């Protein structure tokens, strides 16, 4: 039964079917004017996800092309500046569904100065659609976007070689771009890479297979989006629940609101509160629609606990066996997103899940060359640079590697003066700190750069890591108290 018929006959059954459809998030990336917004507009139009009044509005405001087609990009580019300049600036999110899947798409800008917006739009995607102009081939910005998509943990890359109508659907041009660009992206960390010859304006190989490319047997983009297997591993990991807000509407209720970033939790489960290490039990799991017996990632819920304890924003609830580790030093891949260059040794706010701490970049190990994906030595980082850095924090963060858990392995850097987000990072590895000891916590909370430097000089600890220094201070404190 078609969905339209089901809506008429049994709306409750349709809603239940729609609710249980698998959700896929995808993002369009690539260089400027390669046709990202046009492709998405065409996809929405051909799947019936655009209302008649929207089409009429675009026709009235912008007319049609010489061949009677509307400008599909204007279905996405909603900002006044975008329509005036004919470019995408902000990230445009759209929702649509087919009979097989639900989709949330993010249309991102191609201009180099808006790369930070591209990184934002791609951060939650399962699939990246990278568009390449068939006349120009892969550009530097194409390689930069592919690199960022790979670093963000996107597993699937669809390379859409667009504007094939302008090269007469020439298979040789398609194969040459596929070979040249394939040499670069094959070195990245994608699980699978698919190639499509398309014309966003004409609709070739977007929703329906095109008769103009009989030599291409791969099927249209929509078919691949509907059928590609997405392995969401959030629920397979151990339970972790960063607390975002403490709800206290009255004296009889104290709940802890947040989003489960991995695993699942049941009513009655014993949990640990990090970083304190205190134990408690889940009393109830509350949502807007009522209480649940069990909740899985990535559901947003409010959890109440059996015993009242001191818990605040940034603390994390976990099971006894959990994946998170306390880290005082991070090795991370950092995308710099601000015109003001990175200052090594300068304090920044570091926001990880719901926890905010002070930290600094101690060292820039290398900058990633987006042409070769190789690292080059550098003293600083400028706008749109991608670098591998070492970061230290003044209080422990409960982290996981980004490749293992995207939500527990991501963070942002915030300028302490302007409150601007200046960088986005993915944790590659980390040095575990000492946690659960009251003396350790006290030392870490009061530790500052000047103290560390003085201890290194006076106590001959120059070769010690931060963890070794902490352990030595704990030992000395213990001797002093005995």
Same domain, 216 and 289: no
Same domain, 416 and 278: no
Q: What are phi and psi of 167, to 5 degrees?
A: -120, 25
How confident is the model at residue 133, as a pLDDT? 95
Same domain, 157 and 37: yes
Residue 330 lies in a domain: yes
CB count within 10 Å of CB 15 equals 12
Q: Is 137 left (phi over 0), alpha (psi -120 to 50) or beta?
A: left
Same domain, 298 and 330: no
Give Cα 247 to chain centroid, integer Å. 27
Residue 107 lies in a domain: yes
Asked which of 285, 319, 353 is the last residue of a domain, the reply is: 319
Give the CATH number, domain containing residue 74.
Answer: 3.40.50.300
Same domain, 195 and 275: no
Residue 412 lies in a domain: yes
Same domain, 88 and 120: yes
Same domain, 163 and 27: yes
Q: How far apart are CA 146 and CA 128, in angstroms?
A: 8
How confident is the model at residue 455, as a pLDDT? 60
Q: How many domains does the chain have?
A: 3
Same domain, 178 and 284: no
Residue 113 lies in a domain: yes
Q: Would you call the peptide bond into 298 cis, given omega within 30 degrees of 0 as the criterion? A: yes
Question: What domain range is 305 assigned to?
Answer: 238-319
pLDDT by residue for the chain (482 residues), tens only, comes to: 455 665 556 666 666 666 678 889 999 988 888 888 888 888 988 888 887 777 777 776 655 554 556 777 677 655 434 444 444 445 778 888 888 899 999 888 766 766 777 887 888 899 999 999 999 999 888 888 898 898 888 999 999 999 999 999 999 999 999 999 999 998 888 999 999 999 998 999 999 999 999 999 999 999 999 999 887 666 678 899 999 999 999 888 999 999 999 899 999 999 999 988 899 999 999 998 899 999 988 889 999 999 988 899 999 999 988 889 889 999 999 999 899 999 999 999 999 999 999 999 999 999 987 666 678 888 889 988 889 999 999 888 999 999 888 889 999 999 999 999 999 999 999 987 654 444 444 444 455 555 556 666 665 655 666 556 666 665 554 444 44
Same domain, 209 and 102: yes
Instruction: Give the contacts of 298 (CB within 8 A, at least 6 positions apart).
Output: 234, 259, 260, 261, 407
Residue 271 lies in a domain: yes
445 HSE (CA, 13 A, CB side) = 9
How confident is the model at residue 322, as a pLDDT? 87
Residue 15 lies in a domain: yes
Same domain, 218 and 252: no
Same domain, 380 and 414: yes
């Amino acid at each position: 039964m078609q969905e339209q018929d089901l809506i008429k006959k049994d709306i409750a059954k349709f809603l239940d079917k729609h609710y249980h459809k698998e959700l896929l998030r995808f993002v369009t990336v690539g260089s400027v004017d390669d046709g990202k917004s046009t492709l998405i507009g065409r996809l929405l139009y051909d799947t019936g996800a655009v209302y008649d009044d929207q089409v009429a509005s675009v026709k009235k405001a912008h007319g049609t092309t010489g061949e009677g087609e509307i400008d599909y990009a204007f279905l996405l580019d909603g900002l006044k500046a975008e329509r005036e300049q004919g470019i995408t600036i902000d990230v445009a999110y759209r929702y649509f569904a087919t009979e097989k899947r639900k989709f949330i798409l993010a249309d991102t800008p191609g201009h180099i100065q808006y790369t930070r917006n591209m990184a934002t739009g791609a951060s939650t995607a399962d699939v990246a659609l990278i568009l390449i102009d068939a006349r120009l081939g892969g550009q530097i910005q194409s390689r930069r976007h592919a690199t960022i998509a790979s670093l963000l943990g996107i597993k699937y890359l669809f390379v859409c070689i667009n504007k094939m109508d302008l090269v007469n659907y020439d298979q040789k041009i398609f194969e040459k771009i596929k070979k040249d660009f394939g040499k670069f992206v094959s070195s990245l960390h994608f699980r699978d890479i698919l190639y499509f010859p398309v014309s966003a304006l004409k609709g070739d190989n977007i929703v329906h297979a095109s008769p103009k490319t009989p030599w291409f047997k791969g099927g249209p983009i929509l078919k691949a989006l509907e059928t590609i297997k997405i392995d969401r591993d959030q629920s397979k990991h151990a339970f972790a629940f960063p607390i975002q807000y403490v709800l206290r509407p009255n004296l009889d209720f104290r709940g802890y609101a947040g989003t489960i970033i991995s695993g699942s939790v049941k009513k009655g489960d014993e949990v640990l509160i990090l970083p304190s290490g205190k134990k408690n039990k889940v009393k109830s799991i509350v949502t807007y629609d009522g209480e649940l017996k069990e909740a899985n990632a990535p559901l947003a819920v409010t959890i109440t606990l059996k015993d009242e304890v001191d818990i605040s924003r940034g603390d994390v609830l976990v099971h006894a066996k959990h994946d998170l580790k306390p880290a005082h030093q991070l090795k991370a891949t950092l995308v710099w997103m601000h015109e003001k260059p990175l200052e090594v040794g300068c304090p920044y706010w570091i926001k990880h899940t719901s926890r905010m701490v002070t930290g600094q970049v101690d060292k820039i190990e290398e900058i990633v060359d987006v042409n070769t994906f190789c690292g080059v030595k550098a003293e600083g980082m400028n706008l749109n640079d991608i670098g591998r850095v070492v970061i230290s924090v003044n209080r422990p963060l409960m982290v996981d590697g980004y490749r293992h858990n995207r939500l527990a392995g991501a963070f942002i850097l915030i300028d302490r003066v302007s409150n601007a987000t200046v960088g986005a990072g993915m944790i590659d590895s980390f040095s575990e700190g000492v946690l659960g000891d009251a003396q350790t916590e006290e030392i870490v909370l009061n530790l500052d750069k000047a103290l560390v430097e003085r201890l290194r000089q006076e106590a001959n600890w120059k070769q010690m890591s931060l963890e070794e220094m902490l352990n030595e201070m704990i030992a000395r404190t213990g001797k002093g108290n005995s």
